[in-house]
């Protein structure tokens, strides 16, 4: 390895990136825009579910029951209707996701301690939100039923009664139960993989298309020196992206960073080397910028987004896809970055994931080195 030759190629690549506004914009601006848009648009929280109410009882008891929905942060009573057609119109127009129908004999049955059927009409076109909303509604109904039952029993027994069991939940690692707290760290991993692979997927292919590869081949530069010279500039840019993403998470999204910052950047550096090497390997094999960019997008974005555990739980996937996910390096980095961000754990717990990232980086760079030949 000749450091002077590596520096010369690194300097050439830096000059090219700095003079090419599109490459520089894709390298820095696009990751920040993607993090901003995904950070605000992608959420798994189900709050303020719109509800249309048909109160056929129209009594103090029914209004008290409705107030439990209106007072919850999970529901928002949007309108009161007078018939089933109103419920249907509200669901069709998406003004409401849930229709709550209270029967006309609600108050009488509540006073005598009898069971009251409450109809909950749910728009199932958004299955995930609907399932969660049904769970919230069941909890509210159960809580109301328990309060009514205890009150009735207390009046009959002449003394105040209480439920024998009381659950006191304590949430670790994400006490506010905000989906943003685990989505943003995962987004950093996904964006890093996609952008890094896209950037380096164009480097060698561009040299072939522009006809400058012949000049590089005629120089004494070796394959390993060429790969290092191509990787170093984009590694520096990638680490700048990581720094900006961490700062955005801290000051824009208020994401708590509990773990070791140095460990976070060390793991990001290893992952970045691997993704840059993967893009460079694609560029060496493809020799065409269009083909290389498409291959980089298909082999990074879709697997990283779907099979990394970023949004979709891997244990809930079919077993065949669970096996495929072991080949996706983003799976290990997403686990690492979430553990560092939310749990504050280190390599004593996540050493295997870190080792697998190192192996991935070494393998893709070795393949790129073996595939690059100094000949036309």
Q: What is the pLDDT of residue 375?
A: 63
Contact 186, 311 (CB under 8 A): yes
pLDDT category, 374, cuts 50, 70, 90?
A: low
How far apart CA 241 and CA 276 sit, in angstroms, is 13
pLDDT tens-digit profile of 45-66? Answer: 788 899 999 999 999 999 999 9
Predicted local distance difference test score (pLDDT) of residue 151: 78
Instruction: Note the pLDDT tens digit of each residue in 305-355.
Output: 888 888 788 888 899 989 999 999 999 999 999 999 989 998 999 999 999
Give residue 158's pLDDT. Answer: 67
Question: Looking at residue 50, what is its pLDDT?
Answer: 94
Determine the 3-state secondary structure of 56 from DSSP. Answer: coil
pLDDT tens digit sequence for 204-255 = 777 777 777 777 777 777 878 888 888 888 899 889 989 999 999 889 888 8
For 194-215, how does the pLDDT look when each residue is reduced to its tens digit (9 = 90+)?
888 877 887 777 777 777 777 7
Pair of tokens at residue 235: 């590694």
CATH number belonging to the domain at 49-157, selected among 3.40.1710.10, 1.20.58.710, 3.40.800.10, 3.40.50.9100: 3.40.1710.10
Domain(s) of CATH 3.40.1710.10: residues in the chain: 49-157
Residue 360 confidence (pLDDT): 93
Q: For 109-122, what is the mean pLDDT?
A: 88
- C-beta atoms surrounding 152 within 10 Å: 15
In the chain, what percentage of residues exceed pLDDT 90?
A: 34
Give the span between the Cα atoms of 26 and 200, in whole angstroms: 12
Q: How many CB atoms lie within 10 A of CB 365?
A: 21
The runs of H, that is alpha helices, within the chain are 3-19, 21-24, 30-41, 60-70, 84-92, 106-112, 127-157, 180-201, 203-210, 213-218, 223-251, 261-286, 289-307, 319-325, 329-338, 347-371
Contact (CB, 8 A) for 205 and 292: yes
Q: Which two tokens stand for residue 360?
A: 């991935």
Say how far apart CA 268 and CA 289 lie, in whole Å: 26
Mean pLDDT of 27-40: 84
Q: Would you state the pLDDT for residue 247?
A: 92
Can you tell me the distance from the alpha carbon of 360 to that of 343, in angstroms, rounded to the nearest whole number?
A: 25
């Amino acid at each position: 390895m000749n450091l002077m030759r590596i520096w010369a190629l690194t300097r050439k690549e830096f000059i090219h990136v700095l003079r090419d506004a599109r490459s520089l914009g894709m390298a820095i601006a696009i990751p920040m825009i993607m993090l901003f848009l995904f950070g605000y648009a992608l959420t798994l929280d189900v709050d303020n579910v719109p509800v249309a109410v048909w109160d056929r009882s129209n009594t103090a008891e029914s209004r008290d029951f409705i107030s439990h929905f209106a007072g919850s942060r999970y529901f928002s009573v949007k309108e009161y209707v007078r018939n089933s057609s109103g419920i249907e119109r509200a669901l069709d127009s998406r003004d409401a996701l849930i229709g709550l129908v209270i029967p006309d004999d609600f108050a009488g049955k509540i006073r005598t301690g009898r069971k009251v059927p409450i109809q909950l009409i749910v728009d199932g076109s958004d299955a995930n939100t609907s399932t969660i909303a049904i769970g919230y509604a069941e909890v509210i109904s159960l809580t109301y039923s328990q309060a009514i039952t205890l009150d009735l029993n207390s009046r009959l027994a002449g003394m105040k009664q209480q439920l024998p069991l009381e659950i006191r939940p304590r949430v670790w690692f994400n006490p506010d139960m905000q989906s943003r707290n685990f989505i943003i760290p995962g987004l950093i991993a996904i964006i890093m993989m996609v952008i890094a692979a896209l950037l380096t997927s164009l480097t060698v292919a561009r040299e072939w298309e522009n006809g400058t590869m012949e000049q590089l081949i005629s120089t004494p530069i070796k394959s390993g020196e060429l790969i290092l010279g191509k990787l170093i500039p984009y590694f520096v840019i990638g680490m700048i992206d990581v720094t900006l993403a961490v700062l955005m998470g801290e000051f824009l999204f208020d994401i708590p960073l509990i773990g070791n910052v140095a460990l976070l950047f060390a793991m990001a550096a290893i992952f970045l080397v691997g993704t840059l090497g993967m893009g460079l390997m694609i560029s060496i094999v493809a020799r065409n910028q269009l083909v290389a960019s498409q291959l980089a997008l298909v082999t990074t974005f879709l697997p990283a987004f779907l099979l990394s555990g970023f949004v979709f739980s891997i244990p809930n996937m079919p077993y065949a896809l669970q096996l495929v996910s072991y080949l996706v390096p983003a799976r290990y980095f997403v686990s690492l970055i979430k553990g560092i961000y939310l749990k504050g754990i280190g390599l004593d717990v996540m050493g295997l994931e870190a080792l697998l990232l190192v192996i991935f980086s070494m393998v893709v760079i070795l393949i790129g080195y073996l595939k690059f030949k100094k000949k036309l």
